[in-house]
Structure 1
Amino acid sequence: MGRNGEVEHGWGRASFVEEMGLLWEAVGSARMDGRIIGYLIVTDAPYVSSAQLAEALKVSAGSISLATRRLVEAGFVKRHAVPGERSRYFRMEDDVWGSFLAGERRFLEEQRQLGEKALELIGDEEEGPRRRLQNMIDYMRWIQGAHRELLANWKAYRRAHHPDVPAAQESPAPFRPGPDEPAAPGAAASGSDAPDASGLASEQRRSIALGQALARRLVPDTVWQAAAPLLPSSAQGERAVLTGVVHVLTAGCGWQQLPGHFGVSPATAHRRFTAWSDADVWERLPAAAAPEDRAWCTEIAAAARKRRGRRDA
């Protein structure tokens, strides 16, 4: 065994980091995000700075900034404050997977509430939209019940297999629905008709949920309010398209790698990016943004310039 856990002429920590990046890339996420996750999993340091990550992974500070922002917002990475230090530090909790599962439930609850709000706008005679919205609401209720089971089963599994782990290091308590949330259909079911909770925890579903959580944060309400007036009149309602474009720009992936859960085709995202670049949307965005969003919008603009500079948009 060599220094820092490396095996001479073999597989070591660096290999783990790179393969984590490839795995994340394979399911539609940014390779850099996976590399940072891998590095934070195997490092023995309690926390690391942006500069340390950039040096260890041999990438620019800008790449680290974009990736850590996505990971912090998704709940995979925590910011760590060091008194007297201006540098940004990051760490990973031991049970990051349980933490993410709890955060995912909060996102599902928001989707359920959104569906119910939209249902109030639909007339009784509009059978198609009502069916689709009701199905959305019922699905979110059902999967929320499965999440309660998953979190309880996960905590029980950890206690059984690692009884020496302090309770403070266990995954957080499950998200509790509000008083207006009815019991999730099938949550307490038993027998052959009960939901297969373990099947819901597949890698594909986790990847989709991660992308959805990121989509909500790539273009938050305040950024959309700043960007919408800059878009051509024909694109005033295309928040989903803008979100997909921002994902491609900040993740550094190709247009064909745009995940389907954004609801935007790669061709549409590419066309809008080109049109909005020609209209100087990206250059005007930072000045239009609120102070708290200006740094993020500046990073988006820089990524757009880089993409246009490659002439492969």
Structure 2
Amino acid sequence: MNDRQEQWQAAEQLALVLTEGGLQRMSARTLAMFLFTDQETVTMGDIADRLGVSAGSVSGAVKSLLSVGLIERLPAPGSRREHYRMRDDAWATLFTSQNTVIQIMLQAARKGIAATAPGDPAHQRLIQMHDFYQFMLGEIPALLDRWQQQRLPRPD
């Protein structure tokens, strides 16, 4: 087995672990592909070809990874296809306000709070949900600053 085959085998193993951890199978395989690719950017067609699946099945996975901030869409002048890459700050972004899932959770909590009466147990649970996400978003900048300060360049 050559080095590329070993890498893709490792990518598929990682995808299995991510799936066991709760990530949807196609999202896990797509994330593993982004982690292991040597290409600067990829299209949905590239992902589908690499994974041996239909482009349609990749669409939801890409949307999911975009929504949590792990990948980003890039302009590709002269190309009719959208190009994507893993964000340089992917893991930090996963926990910031740029993560649309966190924003959706906050918005849902706000709407739920507005729709329920004070004293209602649902109202209290929704306040806790909202306060938790607000607290996390408030704490994350300091945590990310510490992360950046402790990071040391690693040799290749």
Q: Give the gaps of 5 or more residues in structure 2.
A: none
Q: Hey, what does 1:34 align to over in structure 2? A: 28
Q: State the AA in 2 paired with 1:90.
A: Y
TM-score (norm. length: structure 2): 0.77
Contact residue 102 and residue 151 of structure 1 kept, 8 A: no
**TM-score (ref. length: structure 1):** 0.42
Q: 2:150 aligns with which of 142, 153, 157?
A: 157
1:6 aligns with 2:8: no
- Displacement of 1:71: 1.7
CA shift at 1:101, angstroms? 1.6
Mapped partners of 2:42, 2:111: distance in 1: 43
Are 2:74 and 1:76 aligned? no
> Which residue in 2 is equivalent to 1:44?
38
Deviations 1:16-55 (A, max 9, x none): 2101211221122222212222222222211122222222
The residue aligned with 1:58 is: 52
Question: For residues 154 and 133 of structure 1, do their structure 2 counterparts lie closer, same or farther at Cα, with a shift above 3 Å needed?
Answer: same
Alignment match, 1:140: 133
Contact 2:18 2:28 (8 Å CA) reproduced: yes
3-state SS of 1:48 partner: coil
Moved >3 Å (runs of 4+): 103-124
Alignment of 1:285-304 (within 5 A): none
State the distance in 1 between where 2:34 and 2:99 align. Answer: 24
**Aligned partner of residue 92 in structure 2, secondary structure:** helix
1:106 CA drift (Å): 6.3
Total equivalences in the alignment: 155
- The 1:114–1:45 alpha-carbon spacing in structure 2 relative to 1, beyond 3 Å, is closer
Q: Taking every aligned residue pair, what percent have the same amino acid on both sides? A: 26
Describe the shift of the 1:19–1:135 C-alpha distance in structure 2 as closer, same or farther (beyond 3 A): same
Matches within 5 A, 1:99-248: 99-103=93-97, 107-108=101-102, 111-112=105-106, 114-124=108-118, 126-158=119-151, 161-162=152-153
Structure 1 residue runs of 5 or longer lacking an equivalent are 165-313
Helix, strand or coil for the counterpart of 2:30?
Answer: helix
Q: Which amino acid aligns with 1:82?
A: A
Quote the residue 2:14 is aligned against.
20
- Assess if the C-alpha contact under 8 Å between 2:68 and 2:100 holds in 1: no
* Contact 2:69-2:99 within 8 A present in 1 as well: no
